[in-house]
Amino acid sequence: MNTPAAHSFVRLVPAMRALAAWLDAPATVAGRKPGGSGDAAATLRRLCADGLRCLADNADEYDRLIARPNAFAAHFAATVAMLAPAAASFAATGAHPDDGSAPAPSAAMLDDATFMLVEDMAALFRERSLRAPEDAPRHAEEALLAHFEHGGEWVPADGTTVTDWYYVRLPALVLAQLLRRAESAARAAGPCGVQPPRR
């Protein structure tokens, strides 16, 4: 049976676009004081919105490149699905998390979800860059990865699952998979790259 994975990015396109529009809405950053933690939240919301649009625009490619099972892709899909009804409500009524007109989630919950989505997208964007190094990163991917690597929130060897995956496990996994494929192709080609005759 050929059924798409539970976390198919193609199936998430409408929800990702609605959520990106909601994160871009002015009321999602209203009332935050410059220089405070609101600036960090606004930066993450912008990076998240841009990343969501990038994933939506390139959903087929991500479905092809991201290995399954993938905990970050599954968590990303679940978080987007959780926020999709509120994002759809925004699209229909203009409700914002900060103005009290949206039933859920609150602005603080949205900030937490945005943080988690940025972590998930960092893992997904990193995997795409490792699996297709010949493809230049898109602006949204590059900006989110630069923030992840240099923003100070995530530090190599900080003991978190996401940084361990990003810096250690994912590169090792992709390299091991590439080596297995190369060895398999070399065995299939036979000695000196010549394919054995078929009988």
Separation of alpha carbons 135 and 189, rounded Å: 27
Amino acid at 117: L
Angle, CA 155 vertex, CA 149 and CA 159 arms, to 5°: 135
Q: Is 194 helix (H, G, I), strand (E, B) or coil?
A: coil
- pLDDT mean across residues, the chain: 83
Separation of alpha carbons 85 and 79, rounded Å: 11
Question: Residue 197 — very low, low, confident or very high, per pLDDT cuts 50/70/90?
Answer: low
Q: Does residue 25 lie in a domain region?
A: yes
Q: Does residue 4 lie in a domain region?
A: no
Q: Does residue 113 lie in a domain region?
A: yes
pLDDT tens digits, one per residue of 110-123:
889 999 999 999 99
Dihedral of the CA atoms 10, 74, 127, 115 (nearest 10)?
Answer: 100
CB burial readout 58-81, b (16+ within 10 A) else e: bbeebbebbeeebebbebbbebbe
Q: Is the dihedral of CA 22, 26, 27, 31 positive or negative?
A: positive
User: What's the number of domains the chain is made of?
Assistant: 1
Q: Does residue 194 lie in a domain region?
A: no
Q: Does residue 193 lie in a domain region?
A: no
Q: Does residue 128 lie in a domain region?
A: yes
Contacts of 141 (CB under 8 A, 6+ apart): 51, 54, 125, 128, 129
Q: What is the pLDDT of residue 199?
A: 62
Q: What is the pLDDT of residue 161?
A: 94
Q: How far is CA 153 from CA 29, 107, 115, 119, in A?
A: 20, 20, 10, 10
Q: Does residue 196 lie in a domain region?
A: no
* pTM score, whole prediction: 0.81
Domain that includes residue 21, residue range: 9-185
